[in-house]
């Protein structure tokens, strides 16, 4: 009996050591990304698919607002970013931190609020809706909840306020303007608790609404002014502070994201539960112009200097291709990169 026990212990130790060694042999790919992608569960699905194809890799996602996600990569603590703020993506490229930017998906921001709609914003465009909420807030009749976390959603909100002639940094001191300082789910929960309005991406709204976390209604629908585009960017290994990044593995993940398989996953993800996708695939409509209206919105609002990725910010892209504005109208022509 004692001999059998010792044998079992020895076998268990050997198996544990083998499993530990196997895990240690895997290289880790770190993706700094946004809460709106992470909290919906989409990245878990993509992670499993990718690691099945690349059993030598272990993908780790760091979920933060876009601003923090970019800072994480700039510090060298991530190998790539997956974010949704074209202005800051351009700065990330221009400052020498990123290469090979590729647009992969899109959805829309919406303004949500209580069913009673105390500010009367239903049917208004986003900018006028915010101004109506401000006016109602000054009368003590409405509240606004901001992400307040330097995320892509927060950046979009600030741009909408600017379009209405307002400065969000000044509004934050007013009693009707609340800041969550957190991710999208926490922000929606706070807005629901306070019976307030907030801006959120459609994926996060549907995920929380259908799960019963919130009962806020969409009061300002999706449209060009609320387009929300997601892009993947590899960290630039030529940057002296980023020489250690796993550039080749980051490129493998980006190529995976733009593959037909993943674009089909995006088209289906959430349909069974929510009646529509939480994110829409962007690659096909940009390459084939099958949806000219949305393609034109993406190129106007999310292209950088007329292209997905400026030529000087392309590095060892392999088979990955990038579209220019002109190429959207001429889908037969594709530009190979070296």
In a domain, 9, yes or no: no
pLDDT at 79: 98
In a domain, 4, yes or no: no
pLDDT at 150: 86
In a domain, 291, yes or no: yes
Model pLDDT for residues 80-115, shown as the tens digit of each residue: 999 999 999 999 999 999 999 999 999 999 999 999
> How many separate domains does the chain show?
2
Asked if 26 and 56 count as a contact pair (C-beta separation under 8 A), the reply is yes
How far apart, in whole angstroms, are the C-alpha atoms of residue 99 and residue 81? Answer: 10
Which residue numbers in the chain have pLDDT < 70? 1-24, 326-338
Residue with tokens 């509240």: 143
**179 plus 268 within the same structural domain:** no
In a domain, 19, yes or no: no
Region label for 97, one of left (φ > 0), alpha (ψ between -120 and 50) or beta (otherwise): alpha
**71 plus 117 within the same structural domain:** no
Structure tokens at 86: 């074209």
SS3 36: helix
In a domain, 288, yes or no: yes
- Among 187, 207, 226, the domain boundary falls at 226
Written in H, E and C, the secondary structure of 52-92 is HHCCCEEEEEEEECHHHHHHHHHCCCCCEEEECCHHHHHHH
**135 plus 153 within the same structural domain:** yes
Range of the domain at 259: 26-107+228-329
CB-based contacts of 172, cutoff 8 Å, min separation 6? 146, 148, 179
- Among 226, 243, 259, the domain boundary falls at 226
Structure tokens at 168: 């969000």
- Among 171, 199, 226, the domain boundary falls at 226
Other Cβ atoms less than 10 A from the Cβ of 273: the count is: 12
Asked if 214 and 166 count as a contact pair (C-beta separation under 8 A), the reply is no
**102 plus 121 within the same structural domain:** no
**126 plus 186 within the same structural domain:** yes
pLDDT at 98: 98
List, in sequence order, every residue forming a beta bridge with 228; answer none if it has no partner: 107
**87 plus 152 within the same structural domain:** no
How far apart, in whole angstroms, are the C-alpha atoms of residue 51 and residue 59? Answer: 7
Q: What is the pTM of this model?
A: 0.85
The H or E element that residue 272 is part of is: helix 271-274
**95 plus 233 within the same structural domain:** yes
**214 plus 278 within the same structural domain:** no
**207 plus 273 within the same structural domain:** no
How far apart, in whole angstroms, are the C-alpha atoms of residue 271 and residue 258? Answer: 20
pLDDT at 326: 67
Which CATH number characterizes residue 187's domain? 3.40.190.10
In a domain, 14, yes or no: no
Question: Most distant CA pair in the chain: distance in Å?
Answer: 82
pLDDT at 322: 93
In a domain, 49, yes or no: yes
CB-based contacts of 83, cutoff 8 Å, min separation 6? 32, 33, 34, 66, 69, 70, 89, 152, 230, 231, 233
How far apart, in whole angstroms, are the C-alpha atoms of residue 287 and residue 331? Answer: 5
Asked if 133 and 174 count as a contact pair (C-beta separation under 8 A), the reply is no
In a domain, 140, yes or no: yes
List, in sequence order, every residue forming a beta bridge with 336; answer none if it has no partner: 321
**195 plus 122 within the same structural domain:** yes
State how far the alpha carbon of 107 is from the alpha carbons of 96, 135, 278, 316, in Å: 28, 29, 7, 29
**113 plus 221 within the same structural domain:** yes
How far apart, in whole angstroms, are the C-alpha atoms of residue 254 and residue 190? Answer: 34
Residue with tokens 């807005």: 191
**169 plus 31 within the same structural domain:** no
Nearest to 274 by CA among 213, 207, 202: 207
């Amino acid at each position: 009996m004692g001999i059998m026990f010792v044998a079992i212990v020895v076998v268990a130790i050997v198996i544990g050591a083998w499993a530990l060694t196997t895990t240690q042999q895997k290289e880790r790919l770190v993706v700094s990304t946004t809460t709106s992608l992470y909290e919906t569960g989409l990245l878990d699905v993509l992670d499993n698919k990718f690691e099945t194809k690349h059993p030598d890799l272990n993908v780790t996602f760091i979920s933060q607002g876009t601003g923090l996600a970019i800072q994480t990569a700039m510090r060298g603590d991530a190998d790539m970013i997956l974010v949704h703020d074209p202005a800051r993506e351009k700065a990330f490229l221009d400052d020498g931190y990123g290469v090979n930017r590729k647009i992969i998906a899109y959805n829309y921001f919406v303004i949500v609020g209580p069913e009673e709609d105390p500010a009367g914003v239903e049917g208004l465009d986003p900018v006028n809706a915010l101004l109506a909420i401000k006016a109602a807030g000054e009368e003590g009749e409405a509240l606004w909840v901001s992400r307040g976390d330097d995320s892509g959603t927060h950046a979009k909100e600030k741009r909408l306020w600017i379009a209405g002639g307002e400065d969000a940094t000044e509004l934050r001191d007013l009693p009707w303007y609340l800041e969550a300082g957190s991710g999208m789910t926490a922000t929606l929960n706070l807005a629901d608790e306070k019976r307030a309005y907030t801006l959120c991406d459609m994926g996060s709204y549907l995920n929380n609404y259908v799960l019963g976390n919130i009962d806020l209604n969409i009061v300002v629908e999706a449209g060009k002014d609320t387009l929300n585009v997601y892009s993947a960017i590899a960290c630039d290994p030529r940057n002296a502070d980023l020489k250690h990044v796993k550039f080749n593995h980051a490129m493998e993940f980006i190529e995976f994201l733009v593959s037909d398989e993943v674009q089909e996953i995006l088209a289906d993800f959430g349909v069974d539960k929510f009646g529509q996708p939480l994110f829409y695939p962007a690659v096909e409509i940009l390459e084939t112009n099958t949806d000219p209206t949305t393609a034109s919105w993406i190129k106007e609002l999310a292209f950088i200097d007329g292209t997905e990725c400026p030529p000087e910010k392309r590095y060892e892209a392999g088979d990955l291709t990038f579209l220019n504005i002109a190429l959207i109208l001429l889908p037969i022509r594709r530009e190979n990169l070296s």
